[in-house]
């Protein structure tokens, strides 16, 4: 079993606790976890779970990324991903500069197709490709929308901003992902599209979910329902409403509100019956399969790992399911298998996730948590686990 070093989440919690002039017992009194667990996490004897880390960040009044070490700078520099992120940051800053007279833009139909292609690349977890294409698409759409404003162009620009959020959040650049969501809202308002605006509130709620701010997350979901309620009753608005309920279910789960979880899952189930597979609507992957996956994820967030595995065994992933969702399913499954002592099964699930979506898995907090947890549990690290640990930078 490897000796924990000083570059782990527990060590960062210890450092930030000391900066806040709190003892371990004082911090433990501020979070819904025991002093004993906090002690074990800080010394590296146990891995910090996502919800534990979020609770500590909230109590210490700091961004959760301070504790997780995201973005994972060493890996990003090695993979040269930082050079891909910088142009995205610059493209997001063009929004209020009007048309660029020096820029040649493609016809509207081609730009709309380009924005859709970016969404498809992210769902296929081709993050490098999407990140490389994204700045030019945003620049052209921004210029085109200012030159000849139209609902279609503003919608596509909002979609491109949403892709910027997806790419940056998957790489751990949460500050930049929030900027992208602000830009998405800006474009959605110009498109007068309540469904897009509601999707933005849903994604914004998930930002607060990661930060452990569950009350704000629920308020944003409620706001999203109010916004989408302004739209006509269409398959699009039904799918967005259903997805808002799914977002609310995992937020309620993290807040240990089991009754609210059941209510939101039931609502989402009803909407999924009406829409069927609506994975084509705003690339949300909404439908019966996604509802089943969220039922499992909610159990994971409530630390009901046996129930999560029970739900996981019921899920049948269709071949058409987005690769990003497929990988997320196996990461959640691995977390549950690790927590219930099924180390070999957990490692197998992580291997499946890695094969399906290597970039997403490498930078996913849940995958990193599971890998670190398996390392802590293993008396002798299997070769495959050793490779996985090295791969994420342990």
Q: CATH number for the domain including 12?
A: 1.10.260.40
In terms of pTM, does the model score above 0.85? no
Question: Do 270 and 160 share a structural domain?
Answer: no
Q: What are the tens digits of pLDDT across the range 181-236? A: 999 999 999 999 999 999 999 999 998 888 888 899 999 999 999 999 999 999 99
Q: How is residue 227 written in tokens?
A: 């916004």
In-domain check, residue 349:
yes
Question: Do 181 and 236 share a structural domain?
Answer: no
Residue 77: band (very low, low, confident or very high) from pLDDT cuts 50, 70, 90: low
Question: Do 355 and 251 share a structural domain?
Answer: no
Contact 47, 12 (CB under 8 A): no
Radius of gyration of the chain (CA): 21
Domain hosting 225: range is 195-308
Q: What are the tens digits of pLDDT across the range 81-94? A: 678 888 999 999 99
In-domain check, residue 92:
yes
In-domain check, residue 139:
yes
Q: Go through 23-35 and write b for each residue having 16 or more CB atoms within 10 A of its CB, e for each that does not.
A: ebeebbeebebee
Q: What are the tens digits of pLDDT across the range 315-347? A: 999 999 999 999 999 999 999 999 999 999 999
Question: Do 161 and 116 share a structural domain?
Answer: yes
Give the whole-angstrom CA distance, residue 370 versus residue 354: 13
Q: How is residue 152 written in tokens?
A: 């279609």
Q: What are the tens digits of pLDDT across the range 116-148? A: 999 999 999 898 899 999 999 999 999 999 999
The percentage of the chain sitting over the pLDDT mark of 90, rounded to a whole number, equals 65
Residue 342 CA, distance from chain mean position: 25
Question: Do 136 and 91 share a structural domain?
Answer: yes
In-domain check, residue 185:
yes
Question: Do 200 and 187 share a structural domain?
Answer: no
CATH code of 359's domain: 1.25.40
User: Last residue of some domain: 43, 69, 95?
Assistant: 69
Question: Do 75 and 49 share a structural domain?
Answer: no
Question: Do 95 and 140 share a structural domain?
Answer: yes
pLDDT on residue 5: 44
User: Last residue of some domain: 266, 284, 308?
Assistant: 308
In-domain check, residue 316:
no
Asked which of 23-37, 46-60, 301-315 is least confident by mean pLDDT, the reply is: 46-60
Question: Do 83 and 56 share a structural domain?
Answer: no
Question: Do 76 and 59 share a structural domain?
Answer: no
Q: What are the tens digits of pLDDT across the range 357-393? A: 998 898 888 888 888 888 877 766 677 888 888 887 7
Question: Do 173 and 87 share a structural domain?
Answer: yes
Give the whole-angstrom CA distance, residue 331 versus residue 364: 9
Question: Do 91 and 19 share a structural domain?
Answer: no
In 3D space, the residue among 29, 30, 28 whose CA is nearest the CA of residue 38 turns out to be 28
Total of domains in the chain: 4
Q: How many residues does the chain have?
A: 394
């Amino acid at each position: 079993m490897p000796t924990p070093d000083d570059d782990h989440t527990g060590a960062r919690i210890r450092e930030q606790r000391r900066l806040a002039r709190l003892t371990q017992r004082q911090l433990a009194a501020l979070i819904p976890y025991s002093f004993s667990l906090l002690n074990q996490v800080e010394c590296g004897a146990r891995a910090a779970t996502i919800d534990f880390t979020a609770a500590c960040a909230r109590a210490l009044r700091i961004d959760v990324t301070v504790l997780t070490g995201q973005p994972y700078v060493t890996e990003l520099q090695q993979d040269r991903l930082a050079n891909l992120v910088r142009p995205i940051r610059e493209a997001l800053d063009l929004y209020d500069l009007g048309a660029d007279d020096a820029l040649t833009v493609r016809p509207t139909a081609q730009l709309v197709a380009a924005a859709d292609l970016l969404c498809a690349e992210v769902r296929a977890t081709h993050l490098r490709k999407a990140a490389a294409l994204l700045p030019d698409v945003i620049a052209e759409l921004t210029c085109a929308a200012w030159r000849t404003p139209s609902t279609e162009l503003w919608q596509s620009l909002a979609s491109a901003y949403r892709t910027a959020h997806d790419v940056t959040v998957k790489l751990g650049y949460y500050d930049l992902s929030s900027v992208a969501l602000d830009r998405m809202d800006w474009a959605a308002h110009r498109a007068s599209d309540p469904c897009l605006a509601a999707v933005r509130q849903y994604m914004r709620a998930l930002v607060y979910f990661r930060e452990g701010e569950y009350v704000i997350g629920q308020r944003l979901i409620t706001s999203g329902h109010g916004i989408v309620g302004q739209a006509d009753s269409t398959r699009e608005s039904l799918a967005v409403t259903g997805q808002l309920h799914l977002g609310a279910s995992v937020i309620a789960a993290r807040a240990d509100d089991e009754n609210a979880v059941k209510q939101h899952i039931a609502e989402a189930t009803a909407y999924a019956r009406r829409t069927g597979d609506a994975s084509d609507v705003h690339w949300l992957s909404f439908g019966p399969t996604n509802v089943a996956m969220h039922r499992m994820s909610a159990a994971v967030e409530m630390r009901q790992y046996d129930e999560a595995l029970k739900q996981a065994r019921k899920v049948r992933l269709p071949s058409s399911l987005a690769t990003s969702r497929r990988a997320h399913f196996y990461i959640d499954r691995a977390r549950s298998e690790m927590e219930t002592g099924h180390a070999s099964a957990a490692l197998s699930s992580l291997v499946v996730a890695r094969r399906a979506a290597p970039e997403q898995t490498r930078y996913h907090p849940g995958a990193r948590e599971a890998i670190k947890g398996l390392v802590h549990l293993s008396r002798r690290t299997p070769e495959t686990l050793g490779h996985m640990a090295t791969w994420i930078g342990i």
